[in-house]
Amino acid sequence: MNLSYRSIRILHPGVTLVALIFSAYQVPNVASAQAVAAQAAYAQALDLLRNGKNADALAVINAAIDAGARDPSLYNVKGLAASELGRDQEAEESFRTLTRLAPRSAMGYNNLGVLFSKLGRNEEAATAFREARVQEPENFTALLGLGTSLVKLNKYVEAATYLQRAWNIRSGDFQVGYEWALALREAKQAAAAKKVLSQLSAPQDSELAVKYYSLAGVVAEDLNDAAAASESYRRAFTLNPNSYEIYLALVRTTLSAGSTPTQRVLPSPPQHLSPEQNLAVGLLFVSHGLYEEAIPRFEETVRQDPSSEAAILNLAQAYSNAGKSSVAMDLIRRSLERQPSAELYHVLANLDEESGQYVEAAQSYQHAVELDPTNEQYYFDLGMEYLAHFTFGPALEVYRVGTQKFPDSSRQYLGLAYSHYAVREYKEAADAFTKALEIDPGSLAVFQAWNTVLSFLAPQDWEALLPRLSRLAAEHSQSAELAFSYGAAFFHSELAKGEKAALDRPRTFLEKAVRLRPNFAAAHLELGSLYAARKQNQKAVDQYLQAIRDDPKSDVAHYRLGQVYRQMNKLELATQELARYQELARLHEDELKHSRSAIQQFVLSPPAKVPAKANDEELSHK
Amino acid sequence: MMNRRRWLQGLATAAAGCLLRPFPAEGFSSGVPPVYFPHYVDVAKQAGLLAKTVLVGHESKDFLLSTTGGGIALFDYDNDGWLDIFVVNGWGLKEFPQNEKPTNHLYRNNRNGTFTDVTEKAGLVRHGWGQGVCVGDYDNDGNLDLFVTYYGKNVLYHNNGNGTFTDATHESGLLQPEDHWNTGAAFVDYNRDGHLDLFVSNYVEYEYGLKFYESNPELVGEKSPVLYGVAGLKGTRNFLYRNNGDGTFTDVSDAAGISKAGLTYGFSPCVGDYDNDGWPDIYVADDSTPSLLFINNRNGTFRESGMLAGVAFDANGRTQGGMGADSVDYDSDGLLDIVKTNFSDEMPSLYHNEGKGFFTDVTVPAGLGGETTSVKWGTGFIDFDDDGRPDIMIVSGSIYPPGTGVHHQLPKTDSKMILMRNVDGNRFANISDRAGPAFAESHCSRGVAFGDIFNTGRIGLVVNNLNDYPSLLRNQSAPTNSWLLVKLLGTKTNRAAIGTRVVVDANNRRQVQEVRSGGSFCSQNDLRLHFGLGAARDARVQIRWLGGAEETLEHVPANRLVMVQEGKGIVSQEVF
């Protein structure tokens, strides 16, 4: 999300109006009494207007007009005064009268355009400025007004052409340059915008300077120059230290530009940020991994709005990531005492688990599920927590319910499958794995999970799965994975029939799988085994070699290849392959040992006073 | 505790089974020979096997040691021609009253279908975490000695020949200086010097046996260190002790290359000449680690080649929870094949010997792919129908014995025996539900030993059930085929003829078996070899003594026990 873009857009609405509104039509020098009176009224009203006495100015003009004066200048001043007083309808009528009385003058159209701009009637403003240009094509005010109006109408490319012409008339004019640069930036011409801005200098007026630096920052960001952007925003923020938008942009670009802490030095945030703003700043720090910097913002958010669940969640996560897990958990527990929340329990469970308090984690996941039984994620996580800690019965129950509540969730079925697997209910596991595949047949992850059934399902249990796998393979005829699933299952089922095994059909599907996905290691492996079962040893070797090329870490492939080589009496090759198999298997064993050592830390106590030496005891008695 | 009601129910079940069992319809309607089904009945209580195997656990904690043990042996300790039973017992996490301390048990066969507990008389009372057992005549005195493995230190019992045993562990040099988690064992004359050496498997590093884990996988609300198997724990190496020929042994594990193999979780050694070179090799079923095959280099050393041989893993190169093993030639190609039991939801492994000591995993195509229930432990190739095609029997048991924890039962606790009929020499079919009432019962079984327990020509079996009484299965279905029981006496070869190969040709089939110490799951089968002969009236018997001599006996009549002495041929026969 580009927060700075939004903030900069807020900075510059109506930037041109003030400059235009004082463009005034000069009263013609007419030597009549009425004209003299009108001129006097005009001069008096203009003076009042300049002194901010708009109502008095309007009264003077109205008196003159009531006295019969019809001078266009009076209507111009009347429009200005009425506009200042917020009597926009009266102002519009005055400027329209002006255009009727002086139709060939651009001024009336320009001021009408300015009024429309002020009122947000940008289409009408553009029309008015275009009319002004009809009368005076190179009228600076008309060009600027038209360009500015078109910017507001998101017609940036057209706007840029008029603003460029205005720039040609008054090169160096800040307002023109700013609007032109803005139009170019919005027209995705950031480099051109940067060039325009480089021809400007920041005005003395701090408000305008803030706009200048802000736009420079945005353009630099567009050009992926975070350092330059950061510098511009820093200047803008120095001039306007209460701007949340500028601070946010400054933080973002500074964090992007600086890779060291010293490069990341930031000023204090604006005072009186809202809870939402504090949260946003905190999230920005978090997005750069600066949890310590984020914590004060989140803490402030929580202080301002103790009921903000988002703030509590983010603060807790920041504490945790900053190595303050216990503080995080305390925070959430305090919050939960006030107001139970499924999401808070879920986060607390994650923190419990990360800190090794897995019993508490399971309880927290359970609370999350109870508070929001419609959340599929909570069910999944609760089940996984049980599975991860060998608590298989509850895991099975969670996923049994999970699959009923979320029948379209393939991962609930995967959880169920792994739970069955853990308690050695392989037939049931295979059924659940296959159900997951039926729900999400295109998912590689689900297929890979399903593929584990190949290594444990007894041959007779394939029978029930074959029709389902056949249907899947038919419905997704271009899926290499589903062709493999059916072919491999069929092969395993047939293999159990011994010499009566019919291997042609499974071969067809396995060959299709490798045709659809030539680097499909598992399919090459199964195909190799199918050929080996048929005593087609050389074909088996070819497939195993391909499986190894596709998956060099496949210990199974090396083992089977070694066995086939041995059957071919190529003992040297067999020995090589089996040695490689051993290397890979040893890696697996090391992983197991590591896993085991992690479990061992939970051994509660050593055996106490065990009469294990009875054998020796008896010996000594003899 | 087994109560009277349950005992009566057992009897009732057995009786009903006998009365109601239908004639096989196939025999009368189709004109083809009737299909034989055994009728195994558990007669342990009636037979007097009345001592429970004990494993007392923690009320809420699990520990690995509560899952192992349970070896059992069938051997003729008193040389009366009848198989006796030795049951390895366990121990527990409590102080037992003096008169209730669990001990191993020796049951003498009364030759009338019953047994007498002679443990005390035989000098075999011993307490501790017993694991496995094997039998062999290590001093060639004609009396079978006993070796019992322990979580702690192993024990060698010398058979005094008078019905008693003497603990010879220390004198023989087999007393282990440190505690170990010893499991299966086997006597093997690896250097063919006529003196039985000893191989001992080890499981996990000793310290892990009694480490506690939370037993309740359903726990929510407190931290639960749930035991999830041995993976990741430190494994162990196996031991090989060379018999010095003077009643003592020397640890040659390093010198013989046994220690070179990687650390494993070893359970059951199964000795056999797998590469057909006349020298015994050693296969070890390992839990969650590669099973090992030590090929005999014929020079006093071994090389481990399980992976290249294709018997270390399953067909995918995955380690399995290997428990027990046995080997015969199930497909009549003259080569010893291997069956290995594995953990629950793993298939058992059937490795077909392709020659040169190389095997192919044929579990799935042979029809064993569906046997994934419960944890499978003891096993054996037995030809229950005597058709000349060795069948496979497997006993199973949940990982945690009943009574060792209240929360640890996983959904699959159905622990029944499995009988796979060898259909055609290549395929096996599960006929457990037609094998008699004993196959409908569920026990937490570990070791099983096979043999002609009642000298009837039919294979029976004894099973060690944890926290339960042993099972004694008798096949009450009348045989329809011929059989031959061969007992060997070595002279140059070790006296028990362990390692000697017998090839029987009959009924156009060839069978190969070897006399084996150890095997199954930490157990000991009948050292006599039982061959089914089908419809044949006699058989050609070739003997390749481990000492090197070969003998061929033509037209050996069926349906009898023949005793063959090395160099002398058949020295006695007994018709049952």
Give the mean pLDDT per block of 10 residues along chain A (622 residues): 28 34 44 75 89 92 87 89 92 94 92 94 96 94 95 96 96 94 96 96 92 96 95 96 95 86 83 93 92 94 91 92 93 92 93 85 93 95 86 88 96 93 86 95 91 80 92 97 96 89 95 97 97 96 97 94 96 96 86 53 29 38 30
Q: In this predicted structure, what is the pLDDT of residue A594? A: 63
**Spatial distance between the Cα atoms of B140 and B490, rounded to a whole number of angstroms:** 9
Place of tokens 């992983």: A591
Cross-chain residue pair A607–B232, CB shorter than 8 Å: no
Cross-chain residue pair B214–A604, CB shorter than 8 Å: yes
Q: In this predicted structure, what is the pLDDT of residue B344? A: 83
**Spatial distance between the Cα atoms of A573 and B494, rounded to a whole number of angstroms:** 41
Which residue of B lies nearest to A461 if distances are taken between CA atoms? B370
For B142, half-sphere exposure in the C-beta direction (CA atoms, 13 angstrom radius) is 8
Q: Give yes or no for B364 touching A (CB within 8 A).
A: yes
Radius of gyration of the CA atoms of chain B, in A: 22
Q: What is the ipTM of this complex?
A: 0.87
Residues of chain B with Cβ-Cβ distance to A425 below 8 Å are 411-412
Q: In this predicted structure, what is the pLDDT of residue A389? A: 77
Q: How far is A270 from chain B (nearest CA, A)?
A: 48
- For residue B130, the cross-strand partners are B150
Q: In this predicted structure, what is the pLDDT of residue A610? A: 36
In tens, the pLDDT along B187-243 reads 999 999 999 999 999 999 999 998 877 655 554 444 445 566 787 789 999 999 999
User: Are B187 and A578 within 8 A, CB to CB?
Assistant: no
% chain B with pLDDT above 70:
89
Q: In this predicted structure, what is the pLDDT of residue B479? A: 82
**Spatial distance between the Cα atoms of A297 and A299, rounded to a whole number of angstroms:** 5
Among candidates A424, A529, A616 on the partner chain, residue whose Cβ is nearest the Cβ of B153 = A616
Among candidates A578, A597, A604 on the partner chain, residue whose Cβ is nearest the Cβ of B225 = A604
Q: Give yes or no for A425 touching B (CB within 8 A).
A: yes
For A19, half-sphere exposure in the C-beta direction (CA atoms, 13 angstrom radius) is 14
Position B414 pLDDT exceeds 60: yes
Instruction: Produce one character per residue of B84-106: b if its CB has 16 or more CB atoms within 10 Å, e if not.
Output: bbbbbbbbbbeeeeeeebbbbbb
Cross-chain residue pair B220–A618, CB shorter than 8 Å: no
**pLDDT band at B16; cut points 50, 70, 90:** very low
Q: Give yes or no for B152 touching A (CB within 8 A).
A: yes
Q: In this predicted structure, what is the pLDDT of residue B413? A: 52
The model carries a pTM of 0.74
Which residue of B lies nearest to A358 if distances are taken between CA atoms? B223
Cross-chain residue pair B228–A599, CB shorter than 8 Å: yes
* B464's tokens: 């060690």
Cross-chain residue pair A391–B317, CB shorter than 8 Å: no
Q: Which residues contact A130 (CB under 8 A, 6 or more apart)?
A: A142, A146
Cross-chain residue pair B218–A495, CB shorter than 8 Å: no
In tens, the pLDDT along B518-548 reads 999 999 999 999 999 999 999 999 999 999 9
Per-chain mean pLDDT for chain B? 90
Place of tokens 């008029």: A162
User: Which candidate, A423, A415, A366, A369, places its Cα nearest to that of A391?
Assistant: A423
Q: Which amino acid is at A141?
A: T
**Spatial distance between the Cα atoms of B248 and B246, rounded to a whole number of angstroms:** 6
Q: Which of B169, B318, B404, B430 is the mutation pick for testing A, counting most A CBs within 10 A?
A: B318
Cβ under 8 Å to A: B residues 479-498: none
Position B17 pLDDT exceeds 80: no
User: Which candidate, A485, A457, A462, places its Cα nearest to that of A472?
Assistant: A485
* B26's tokens: 């196939």
Tell me whether the CATH fold assigned to A5-200 matches the one assigned to A482-598. yes
In CATH terms, A5-200 corresponds, of 1.25.40.10, 3.40.190.10, 1.10.3810.10, 3.90.1580.10, to: 1.25.40.10
Q: In this predicted structure, what is the pLDDT of residue A422? A: 81
Question: 3-class DSSP state for residue B51?
Answer: coil
Does the domain made of A482-598 have the CATH classification 1.25.40.10? yes
Kindly report which listed range (A614-618, B207-211, B385-389, B420-424) carries the lowest average pLDDT score.
A614-618
Q: Which residues contact A410 (CB under 8 A, 6 or more apart)?
A: A436, A437, A439, A440, A443, A446
Alpha-carbon separation of residue A306 from A293, A309, A310, A312, B425 (angstroms): 20, 8, 10, 8, 79
User: Which candidate, A45, A49, A18, places its Cα nearest to that of A141?
Assistant: A18
**Spatial distance between the Cα atoms of A155 and A178, rounded to a whole number of angstroms:** 16
Q: β-pairing, B197-202 with B460-465?
A: unpaired
* A26's tokens: 């000069």
CA torsion through residues B558, B562, B565, B566, sign: positive
Cβ under 8 Å to B: A residues 540-559: 555-556, 558-559
Q: Does residue B477 or residue B407 have the better pLDDT?
A: B477
Q: Does residue A260 or residue B302 have the better pLDDT?
A: B302
* B277's tokens: 């070179």
Q: How far is A390 from chain B (nearest CA, A)?
A: 6
Would you give the DSSP letter of residue B23?
P
Start-to-end Cα distance in chain A: 86
Q: Give yes or no for A608 touching B (CB within 8 A).
A: no
Cross-chain residue pair B228–A392, CB shorter than 8 Å: no
CA torsion through residues B434, B436, B441, B442, sign: negative
User: Are B485 and B41 within 8 A, CB to CB?
Assistant: no
Q: In this predicted structure, what is the pLDDT of residue A206? A: 93
Q: In this predicted structure, what is the pLDDT of residue B222? A: 45
Residues of chain A with Cβ-Cβ distance to B228 below 8 Å are 390, 599
For A142, half-sphere exposure in the C-beta direction (CA atoms, 13 angstrom radius) is 18
Among candidates A596, A607, A616 on the partner chain, residue whose Cβ is nearest the Cβ of B212 = A607
**Spatial distance between the Cα atoms of B480 and B387, rounded to a whole number of angstroms:** 9
Domain boundaries, chain A: 5-200, 482-598
Which residue of B lies nearest to A533 if distances are taken between CA atoms? B365
Cross-chain residue pair A599–B225, CB shorter than 8 Å: yes
Cross-chain residue pair B93–A611, CB shorter than 8 Å: yes
Alpha-carbon separation of residue B229 from B62, B64, B252, B267 (angstroms): 11, 8, 31, 15
Q: In this predicted structure, what is the pLDDT of residue B407? A: 53
Among candidates A359, A595, A610 on the partner chain, residue whose Cβ is nearest the Cβ of B223 = A359
User: Which candidate, B400, B405, B35, places its Cα nearest to that of B228?
Assistant: B400
Chains A–B, number of C-beta pairs less than 8 Å apart = 167
Q: In this predicted structure, what is the pLDDT of residue A42? A: 87
Position B503 pLDDT exceeds 60: yes
Q: How far is B536 from chain A (nearest CA, A)?
A: 28
Among candidates B63, B214, B316 on the partner chain, residue whose Cβ is nearest the Cβ of A455 = B316
Instruction: Produce one character per residue of B383-411: b if its CB has 16 or more CB atoms within 10 Å, e if not.
Output: bbbbbbbbbbbbbbbbbbbbbbbebbebe
Cross-chain residue pair B308–A613, CB shorter than 8 Å: no
How is chain B split among helix, strand and coil, in percent rounded to 5?
Answer: 10, 35, 55
Q: Give yes or no for A620 touching B (CB within 8 A).
A: no
Among candidates A458, A562, A594 on the partner chain, residue whose Cβ is nearest the Cβ of B369 = A458
Q: Give yes or no for B265 touching A (CB within 8 A).
A: no
SS3 per residue for B85-117: EEECCCCECCCCCHHHCCCCEEEEECCCCCEEE
If you write DSSP's letter for every residue of A327-341 in order, what string do you get?
HHHHHHHHHHHHS--
